[in-house]
Chain A
Amino acid sequence: DTGVSQDPRHKITKRGQNVTFRCDPISEHNRLYWYRQTLGQGPEFLTYFQNEAQLEKSRLLSDRFSAERPKGSFSTLEIQRTEQGDSAMYLCASSLDPPRPNYGYTFGSGTRLTVV
């Protein structure tokens, strides 16, 4: 297993379009997290899954955002009607359940979204 994979690495879209990102976690990790990171800021928590169940959503996750993890493996994050303020790096992380501190939460390299 090569770690957490995210696809695509970069996405440029026009305002108003829908975009979907994919995250493949480490295979034995039950938990999957989505974070958003804007320039000069730390990652902000968006949502997390335990297997296929979405257990928590941040108030940052507006109605235009939806995340799924249908079979408890990969996850998708969709943003509908994108706005310029959605431009950010979207990070996915996975962990064991519960997280083991020596392994931490393993992050992917992220998907950089630019809304023009």
Chain B
Amino acid sequence: GEDVEQSLFLSVREGDSSVINCTYTDSSSTYLYWYKQEPGAGLQLLTYIFSNMDMKQDQRLTVLLNKKDKHLSLRIADTQTGDSAIYFCAEETGGYNKLIFGAGTRLAVHP
């Protein structure tokens, strides 16, 4: 089946690194995505990783993928107050290529 799970809440101090974790179930997933949602706003694509990759870095963002354990993580370096938002992990399932989302991790950044 298709299921994506995330921890629901993370609190970090400004300037520290944040690590948001995600597990997924579909071993045929092609791409895995991270989206960001700020209050009252739509979903914004942050980054993605191909299922054959282990790591991808994009400025302050680092995505790690452990395909054997179906575990995905998003690390945000030097976290800022503007990073406070809900972060969604999503797997692109095989076949018709649709996104299946986790429940989201609410990131709170405090001074």
Measured CB to CB, the residues of A under 8 A from B are 33, 35, 40-45, 48, 55-56, 91, 93, 98-99, 101-110
Contact = CB atoms under 8 A, between A and B. Distances in A.
Given A99-B92, A104-B33, A42 B42 contact: no
A48 B98 contact: yes
16 contacts: A33-B99, A41-B103, A42-B4, A42-B90, A43-B99, A43-B101, A56-B98, A93-B43, A99-B31, A99-B92, A101-B33, A101-B48, A101-B50, A102-B48, A107-B42, A109-B42
Contacts of B98: 33, 45, 48, 56
B48, B90, B96, B99 interface centre (most CB from chain A within 10 Å): B99
B42, B100, B104 interface centre (most CB from chain A within 10 Å): B42
Interface in B69-111: 88, 90, 92, 96-104
Nearest to B100: A45
Given A35-B101, A42-B104, A106-B45, 18 more contacts: A33-B98, A41-B103, A42-B90, A43-B43, A43-B101, A48-B96, A56-B96, A91-B43, A93-B99, A99-B31, A99-B92, A101-B33, A101-B50, A103-B45, A104-B33, A105-B33, A109-B41, A110-B42
